[in-house]
């Protein structure tokens, strides 16, 4: 989920100045990548990306999330050079094609990331705020010990209520999502410990590196169910997804029936998208809920 242009630079503190201050290196060039991103070349030959943040808490949450993912020693992430109230500075990733070998490796590394665990469902990364974000949507990292109750109360229902309040979903349509939430204890499969999630693992946040290693960017990291990350990979299409899943299941087999639970785990990101982008995603969420309710 992308971010819009950030706040205006203050006192001439543009991307180059931010990169110089947070890396301690002289800047040799600045190239805009989008309205919210700029690539900055440093005098030691490296390149970094300066990303506009949607506020100080958003920058802090993303930086903490990247560091928490990196601490697992599993999937690679761009190194974080620092952040301020407006921007985040990370290493630039040289990208390459999504080969099968890289996909299998990514699957194994993602399994290792999840296995690194979290203190509780909803636990924020160390140093990360409780009031975090997924894309532009607020996301509260409130903890819980029981995944079905936590997922319903802190991931699905808050966005459903917002969608109803906004008129994107009618009260009558919301009933099917609420029924699925009530049935989560029977739909969720075997209980699992909290996994260390990327939390916003759609294809745009998976960078296939030129060196054959995947890097993950833009996390909404928290403790959750590992099938949620996998369901989000499937939601918007991921290159070599079959190979990613083969590598994952080779390292960490999934509980029986996981394919039937994909829609349950997709309810959260679909409702977030409904809140941010409107009725089309609400219809997808409702279709997924109806399918899950028939299980």
Domain edges within the chain: 15-91, 100-293
First CA to last CA across the chain, in angstroms?
Answer: 30
With beta carbons less than 8 A apart as the criterion, state whether 223 and 137 touch. Answer: no
Residues in the chain predicted with pLDDT less than 70, given as ranges, are: 1-12
Burial of 51 from C-beta contacts in 10 A (0-12 / 13-18 / 19+):
buried
Q: Which CATH number fits domain 100-293: 3.40.50.1970, 3.90.1200.10, 2.60.40.10, 2.60.420.10?
A: 3.90.1200.10
pLDDT in the model for residue 86: 83
Residue 183, φ and ψ in degrees, nearest 5? -90, 0
Q: Which of 166, 200, 229, 293 is an active site residue?
A: 200
Give the position of tokens 């928290």. 222
CB neighbours of residue 24 within 10 Å:
10
CA–CA dist 71, 178 (Å, integer): 37
Q: What is the DSSP string of 77-132?
A: -PPEEEE-SSEEEEEPPPB----HHHHHHHHHHHHHHHHT--SSBTPPPTT--SEE
Task: Identify the three-state secondary structure at position 180.
Answer: helix
CA–CA dist 171, 182 (Å, integer): 16
CATH superfamily of the domain spanning 15-91:
Phosphorylase Kinase; domain 1 (3.30.200.20)
pLDDT in the model for residue 6: 40
Q: Does residue 91 carry a catalytic annotation?
A: no
Residue 216, φ and ψ in degrees, nearest 5? -105, 140
With beta carbons less than 8 A apart as the criterion, state whether 181 and 146 touch. Answer: no
Instruction: Determine if the pTM surpasses 0.75.
Output: yes
CA–CA dist 273, 200 (Å, integer): 11
C-alpha R_g of the chain: 19
With beta carbons less than 8 A apart as the criterion, state whether 272 and 138 touch. Answer: no
């Amino acid at each position: 989920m992308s971010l819009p242009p950030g706040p205006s630079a203050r006192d001439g503190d543009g991307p180059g100045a931010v990169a110089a201050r947070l890396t301690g290196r002289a800047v040799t060039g600045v190239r805009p990548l989008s309205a919210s991103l700029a690539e900055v070349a440093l005098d030691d030959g490296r390149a970094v990306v300066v990303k506009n943040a949607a506020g100080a808490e958003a920058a802090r949450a993303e930086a903490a999330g990247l560091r928490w993912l990196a601490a697992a020693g599993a999937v690679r992430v761009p190194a974080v050079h620092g952040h301020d109230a407006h921007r985040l500075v990370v290493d630039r990733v040289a990208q390459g094609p999504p080969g099968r070998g890289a996909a299998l490796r990514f699957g194994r590394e993602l399994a290792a990331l999840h296995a690194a665990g979290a203190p509780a469902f909803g636990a924020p990364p160390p140093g990360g705020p409780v009031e975090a974000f997924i894309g532009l949507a607020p996301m509260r990292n409130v903890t819980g010990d029981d995944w079905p109750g936590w997922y319903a109360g802190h991931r699905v229902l808050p966005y459903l209520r917002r969608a109803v309040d906004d008129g994107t979903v009618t009260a009558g349509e919301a009933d099917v999502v609420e029924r699925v939430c009530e049935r989560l204890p029977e739909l969720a499969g075997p209980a699992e410990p909290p996994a260390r999630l990327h939390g916003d693992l759609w294809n745009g946040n998976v960078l296939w590196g030129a060196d054959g290693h995947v890097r993950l960017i833009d996390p909404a990291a928290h403790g959750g169910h590992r099938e949620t990350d996998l369901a989000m990979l499937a939601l918007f299409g991921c290159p070599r997804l079959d190979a990613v899943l083969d590598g994952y299941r080779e390292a960490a087999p999934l509980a029986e029936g996981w394919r039937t639970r994909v829609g349950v785990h997709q309810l959260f990101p679909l409702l977030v998208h409904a809140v941010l982008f409107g009725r089309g995603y609400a219809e997808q969420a409702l279709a997924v809920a109806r399918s899950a309710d028939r299980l």
